[in-house]
Amino acid sequence: MEWTFTIDELPQVAQSFWAQYGAQQIFTLEGAMGAGKTTFVKALCAVKGVEDTTASPTFSIINQYTYRTNDGATRNIYHLDLYRLRDEEEAIGAGVEDTIYQDGAICFVEWPDIIAQLLPADTIRLQLTVLPDQRRQLRTE
């Protein structure tokens, strides 16, 4: 899939994204700094009804948000930013492996290269690119 959008169109893109990938649990987010990875996760959380304040997990490494499903169950969304971690061992020590394999949780992983071997085969890879006109392009693999 591919979307090209402005910041004003982001809520509609997030809605379309969940319509396409709502059954998936693990997503990687790749793109340059400033491409809008965290902004995209915020929009996805808003569509799910997350009421927590969403922010970049650059320093915390893992942020946890909760939302309610249509049947009233509480579910978690985890937003991981691995930019500051040195290697897979440090990521495991920080709880990354436990987080991405938590049953029923949705995980968004920024800078996923150091844990590539830990990711399940059905991980959806997202690539976010800033276009010359400042719109964003989101592609999935």
CATH topology assigned to domain 2-140: Rossmann fold (3.40.50)
Task: Give the separation between CA 57 and CA 50, rounded to whole angstroms.
Answer: 16
Handedness of CA 113, 88, 84, 108 (dihedral sign): positive
**pLDDT tens, the chain, 141 aa long:** 999 999 999 999 999 999 999 999 999 999 999 999 999 999 999 999 998 888 888 778 999 999 999 899 999 999 999 999 999 999 999 999 999 999 889 999 999 999 999 999 999 999 999 999 999 999 998
- Considering the entire predicted model, what is its pTM? 0.93
Q: Could you give the 3-state DSSP secondary structure of residue 107?
A: strand
In order of 100, 114, 117, the CA distances from 87 in angstroms are 16, 6, 11
